[in-house]
Amino acid sequence: MTSKLLHAPTTPKIVIIAGPNGAGKTTFAREFLPHEANCPDFINADLIAAGLSPFNPEAAAFRAGRLMLQEIHEKVRQQKSFAFETTLSGRTYLKLLQECRANGYHIMLIFLSLPTADMAVTRVAARVIQGGHNVPEPDIRRRFKAGLNNFHAVYKQVADIWTLYDNSGTIPTILDQGEIRCVARLLNL
């Protein structure tokens, strides 16, 4: 289902890797984006924050978020393909994605789910022990619920193709997927 969308040479694409904190978004992206999605430009606020403040990336989170948005807007201005990571806990990207889709971008949305917010909290704690960045527990729990709700209620509708994974095991398992197409978009493939 993804091959035409992901490998269309002249059509810019946006690949969104979404899910709660601790779901394994960055790990998934490192394998999926260059090998499966043919999309090497990955914009990630956590990686930007780590570059700005390697020993305390949480302190640079706000600035990193702003830089991430600037980079996304620059890619769109240049009509370039790119990917980014998000929890989807807000609707920050909705208008931009609608505009991009209207201007010819193909949008692929991947949501890496976990069965419980407790698992997300545990995974973030394990990441911190291994030297990764922390996220306060109340934020994890709030984003857990909001992100999944926004995925279903809002963001699936702006994606050309979407996949929902259970990422609680060692290998992501597809739970559901869909493709939203219209005749005009099919003719462009």
pLDDT tens readout for residues 146-171: 999 999 999 999 999 999 999 999 99
Residues 6+ apart with CB under 8 A from 115: 166, 168
Write the CA distances from 127 to 43, 79, 120, 182, integer angstroms: 20, 35, 11, 42
pLDDT confidence band for 187 (50 / 70 / 90): very low
CATH of domain 3-38+83-187: 3.40.50.300
| Sign of torsion over alpha carbons 90, 92, 94, 100 | negative
Phi, psi of 121, rounded to the nearest 5 degrees: -60, -45
Give residue 49's pLDDT.
85
Inform me whether the pLDDT recorded for 89 exceeds 80.
yes
Phi, psi of 142, rounded to the nearest 5 degrees: -65, -45
Inform me whether the pLDDT recorded for 55 exceeds 90.
no
Write the CA distances from 35 to 25, 28, 102, 130, 162, integer angstroms: 15, 11, 27, 26, 18
Kindly list the domain boundaries of the chain, sorted by start residue: 3-38+83-187
